[in-house]
């Protein structure tokens, strides 16, 4: 597993299931855009769903996984699966009890807020949006328990090198979501607020299914998921919680910044939060398939290597992963930047999602695409520190970028025209990702010496040249393709035009890769042939 072949093997596994999940996610978003639109209801849902997502990143896939996986992996390597399982049960029990208490307190607080709002007698559109958001938040709050329990199971399975089940788990979420949107299609008389509430209820059910599935997979892997009220004072458990505390502060800073983004998006315009959410979903396809796959695999990989003091192996794993990551992310960024209007139109436009929404979303997509490489690189760098039980460095970096991002976002909302404020919010996110990568690389060098990233400069430069060439060709071909396929009608012509442009882009990138990077292509073909 320590070698690059082992990493790529697991990345292909994670990437394949993640690709399935992202494709299902795109189907979900296509249905949601047509059934819900990009107005007040979608903005309320985006804000409400951000709260359990914040908990997932704080206590699930974020701080908990980062703090737990290195310690659990060390127990597996140094001790035995039985001792590691005891550690897992103790931590899981504590986390679920804590989350259950938080949900109950939040439910009580929301009831108080609603009661106070009713006494003030506030009415109108603002009251409608506020009450809808509160209703959705109350529905989705228990989801944070389910998804964090599922994420904990993912951490256990990934530490044991079992990536298939954890990679498939998000598909269950999307299947349930698609199912409810399909059901809504048969009831056109439902109001938009009723539709979005049905979606929230389906997400809650999906969270329960995901948690049960992951706990079942844990049991099959030899780690019984039963609750345990012993071992809470074990030094390893205390180490996990110390690391969780530091990591949660860092993740909390990021999530506070995310919630600030959501609030500023609401201030920017009533539609901005929903529009940004749709743009982010398009970014999730390449970033989720490749970036998240590498981040998922690298954390337990680095943890195993650092537990053996194999720093050379860790450097080789990092540099090899960066080269493979950029080979996919940079051309994806170029394609999304040039074809943002066409992609947005084909995927989203229709029903309650009109041409104006397409223009708004495509502008954000084009800006977000410029940061795709940085987003992926950051997901490969953070596990470097987490695997060494260093949660403070990512905390410092996230805090610094939060301050910069908040400042730029406020300026964007204050200075830019209404139709471009959400673009400014996206640009701020990209800039902060670039700054975050630079700080993380500098910190890693100070901590561990050279990272071996100098070997990536020439390969990444070749990928960049190939990607830019592909983007230029696509830009030139766009109007000709649109004119040629317009004879088939707007909908079919748009799909055919986009498909042709994507095929041409892949062909151009393939030719440039053959000329500039023949070794990389040969190695990839040999690896896939061995699989």
Q: Looking at the predicted structure, is the pLDDT value of residue 151 above 60?
A: yes
Ramachandran quadrant class, 124 (left: phi over 0; alpha: psi -120 to 50; beta: rest): left
Q: Please report which confidence band the pLDDT of residue 508 belongs to, taking 50, 70 and 90 as the band edges.
A: very high
DSSP per-residue letters across 71-88: HHHHHHHHS-HHHHHHHH
More confident residue, 512 or 115: 512
Contact between 63 and 244 under an 8 Å Cβ cutoff? The reply is: yes
Q: Is the pLDDT of residue 258 over 70?
A: no
Specify the pLDDT at position 529: 45
Q: What's the pTM?
A: 0.71
Question: What region, left, alpha or beta, does residue 161 occupy, with left being phi > 0 and alpha being psi -120 to 50 degrees?
Answer: left
Confidence of residue 199 (pLDDT cuts 50, 70, 90): very high
pLDDT value at position 36?
83
Q: What average pLDDT score do residues 202-221 get? A: 91
Residues with Cβ within 8 Å of residue 474, at least 6 apart in sequence: 334, 335, 338, 339, 501, 504, 505, 508
- Burial letters for 76-98: b for 16+ Cβ neighbours within 10 Å, e otherwise? beeeeeeebbbbbbbbbbbbbee
Q: Which of 181-195, 248-262, 427-441 has the lowest mean pLDDT?
A: 248-262
Residues 6+ apart with CB under 8 A from 13: 163, 164, 167
The reported pLDDT for the residue numbered 504 is 95
Look at 253-262, 266-275, 321-330 and tell me which has the smallest mean pLDDT: 253-262
Residues of the chain above pLDDT 70, percent: 87
Distance separating alpha carbons of residues 257 and 50, to the nearest angstrom: 12
Residue 522 pLDDT > 70? no
Distance between CA atoms of 288 and 372, rounded to whole angstroms?
11
Q: What is the mean pLDDT of residues 67-87?
A: 78
CA atoms within 13 A on the CB side of 277: 29
| % of the chain at pLDDT higher than 90 | 25
Give the mean model confidence (pLDDT) for residues 288-294: 70
Alpha-carbon distance of 77 to 292, in angstroms, equals: 25
Q: Which of 479, 476, 478, 469 is nearest to 506 (CA)?
A: 469
Q: How confident is the model at residue 278 (pLDDT cuts 50, 70, 90)?
A: confident
**Distance (Å, rounded) from C-alpha 484 to C-alpha 490?**
12
For the stretch 321-373, pLDDT in tens is 888 889 889 999 999 999 999 999 998 888 778 888 899 999 999 999 999 99
Strand, helix or coil for residue 355? helix
Please state, rounded to an integer, the average pLDDT across all residues of the chain.
83
pLDDT in tens, 121-140: 555 566 777 788 888 988 99
Selected residue with higher pLDDT from 311 and 9: 311
The per-residue pLDDT for range 477-488, each reduced to its tens digit, is 999 999 999 888
Task: Give CA–CA dist 74/387, Å, rounded.
Answer: 10
pLDDT of residue 254: 63
Residues 6 or more apart in contact with residue 298 via CB below 8 angstroms: 7, 317, 318, 321, 380, 383, 384, 387
Whether the predicted pLDDT of 43 surpasses 90: no
pLDDT at 525: 54
């Amino acid at each position: 597993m320590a070698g690059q072949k082992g990493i790529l093997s697991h990345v292909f596994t994670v990437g394949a299931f993640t690709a399935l999940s992202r494709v299902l996610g795109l189907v979900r978003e296509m249905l949601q855009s047509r059934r819900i639109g990009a107005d007040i209801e979608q903005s309320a849902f985006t804000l409400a769903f951000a709260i359990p997502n914040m908990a997932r990143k704080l206590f699930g896939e974020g701080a908990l996984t980062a703090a737990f996986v290195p310690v659990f992996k060390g127990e597996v390597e140094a001790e035995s699966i039985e001792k590691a399982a005891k550690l897992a049960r103790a931590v899981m029990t504590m986390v679920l009890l804590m989350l259950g208490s938080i949900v109950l307190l939040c439910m009580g607080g929301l009831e108080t807020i609603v009661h106070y709002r009713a006494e003030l007698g506030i009415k109108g559109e603002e009251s409608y949006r506020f009450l809808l958001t509160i209703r959705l938040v109350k529905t989705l709050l228990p989801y944070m328990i389910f998804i964090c329990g599922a994420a904990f199971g993912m951490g256990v399975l990934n530490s044991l090198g079992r990536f298939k089940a954890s990679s498939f788990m998000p598909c269950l979420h999307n299947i349930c979501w698609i199912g409810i949107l399909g059901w809504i299609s048969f009831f056109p008389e439902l109001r938009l607020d009723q539709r979005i509430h049905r979606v929230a209820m389906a997400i809650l059910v999906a969270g329960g299914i995901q948690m049960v599935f992951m706990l079942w997979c844990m049991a099959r892997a030899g780690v019984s998921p039963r609750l345990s009220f012993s071992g809470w004072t074990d030094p390893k458990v205390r180490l996990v919680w110390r690391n969780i505390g530091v990591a949660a502060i860092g993740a909390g800073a990021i999530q506070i910044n995310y919630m600030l983004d959501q609030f500023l998006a609401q201030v920017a315009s009533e539609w901005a939060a929903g529009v940004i959410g749709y743009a982010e979903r398009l970014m999730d396809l390449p970033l989720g398939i490749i970036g998240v796959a590498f981040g998922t695999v690298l954390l337990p990989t680095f943890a195993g290597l650092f537990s053996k003091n194999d720093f050379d192996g860790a450097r080789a794993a990092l540099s090899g992963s960066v080269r493979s990551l950029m080979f996919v992310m940079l051309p994806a960024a170029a394609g999304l930047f040039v074809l943002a209007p066409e992609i947005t139109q084909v995927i989203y436009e229709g029903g309650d999602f009109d041409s104006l929404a397409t223009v708004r979303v495509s502008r954000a997509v084009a800006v977000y695409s410029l940061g795709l490489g940085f987003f992926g690189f950051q997901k490969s760098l953070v596990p470097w520190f987490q695997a060494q039980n260093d949660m403070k460095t990512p905390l410092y970096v996230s805090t610094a970028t939060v301050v910069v991002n908040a400042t730029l976002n406020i300026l964007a909302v204050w200075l830019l025209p209404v139709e471009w404020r959400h673009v400014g919010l996206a640009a701020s996110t990209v800039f902060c990702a670039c700054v975050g990568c630079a700080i993380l690389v500098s910190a890693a060098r100070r901590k561990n010496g050279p990272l071996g990233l100098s070997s990536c400069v020439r390969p990444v430069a070749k990928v960049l040249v190939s990607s830019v060439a592909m983007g230029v060709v696509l830009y030139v071909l766009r109007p000709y393709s649109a004119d040629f396929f317009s004879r088939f009608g707007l909908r079919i012509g748009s799909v055919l035009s986009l498909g042709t442009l994507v095929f041409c882009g892949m062909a151009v990138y393939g030719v440039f890769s053959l000329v500039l990077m023949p070794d990389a292509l040969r190695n990839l073909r040999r690896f896939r042939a061995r699989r």
